[in-house]
Amino acid sequence: MGNSLPQLSVHRSLRASKTKSPYPSLKKSRSLREYARNTNNCFTSNNSHNRRNITFSRPQSLPPTDAEIIDIHALRCRMSTSNVDEGEHQLLKQLDYIHSCVRKDKGLFGKMTENLQNKHIFSNDEPENTHILDQTPDEYRMDYQSIYLQTFDGEFIHAYWIYQSGDVNDTVTLLYFHGAGGNISHRLEVLQLFYENLQCNILVIDYRGFGKSTGTPSELGLYIDAQTAYDYLIYKQKILPENIIVLGTSLGASVAIQLVSDPSNRVKVAIFENAFISVPEVAKYFLTYAKSVLGVTKSIGFLYLFDSLAKVG
């Protein structure tokens, strides 16, 4: 999934929704509707008012030791503008929405083709030695900090916080989600163009299983990683939503669409470069078996949907 000129740009309103539930009602496949009705998430909570049961696990992977670790869940609770309980409730709603946008069941066909789908969608082990970072931002004359963001489900996401001198809100901040394959060190030449021409701050992350980040990639995991990155800008760097630009490329465009489809994640502008409608729609042009599968139902057999069209509005 390579780069191309931007195909779609969406401006996000800064006004909060006036409806009772701000979360969009998505047109999903039958498997997703059944999942949303019947499944219990892997998270648990004692709050009887929540439709789902959600909690926050401790680290699933060993903490890295080569850079600062920032626990985003703890940070959100401390920095909540109202109180800890309200901040926790808002986070639970956001995670509930993320879970409602992915499928839980793999299905027999999905289990049979899991390795193939992971390889084609994420390519997180390509190219060779992709878990070794080749370059750092200072080689491109950019001031930066190497950090790890601890996600709500206990993974450690490696990121570069690249900053301009002066107050962070004196300029815009770019939240960049890269495409499949490679790691953040392979995107520095592109980021330098934004850094020098826009004079902006930049946060770029490696999704779980990419680069030096822990864990294994999945659709749910990438969505949580994106929320974690956004929360770092809001709660740690205290950047105003109207100063945040989200840019996603290829696979990262689907991640960006998911992030800004949540009305709680307000931004100045969202740009989706080389986006695709969904994994099943892309697959039918490249995989022979996908055409017959799609003749039965859109999503059967696919572990990951990245169903962007339902959310892009």
Instruction: Answer whether 147's CB lies under 8 Å from 70's CB.
Output: yes
* Unique residue bearing structure tokens 């892009």: 312
CA pair distance 239, 241, nearest whole angstrom: 6
Q: What is the pLDDT of residues 235-268, one digit of tens each?
A: 999 999 999 999 999 999 999 999 999 999 999 9
This prediction's pTM: 0.82
CA pair distance 91, 37, nearest whole angstrom: 20
What SS3 class is residue 177? strand
Q: At residue 33, does pLDDT exceed 90?
A: no
Neighbours of 12 (CB within 10 A): 18
Instruction: Answer whether 239's CB lies under 8 Å from 233's CB.
Output: yes
Side-chain half-sphere exposure of 55, counting CA atoms within 13 A: 10
| Band (49; pLDDT cuts 50, 70, 90) | very low
Q: What is the pLDDT of residue 162?
A: 98
Fold observed for domain 68-82+93-104+139-279: Rossmann fold (3.40.50)
Q: Can you read off the two tokens belonging to residue 276?
A: 């695709």
Residues near 5 by Cβ (< 8 Å), separated by ≥ 6? Answer: 273
Instruction: Return the closest-CA partner of residue 244 out of 230, 254, 258.
Output: 230
Domain boundaries defined on the chain: 68-82+93-104+139-279
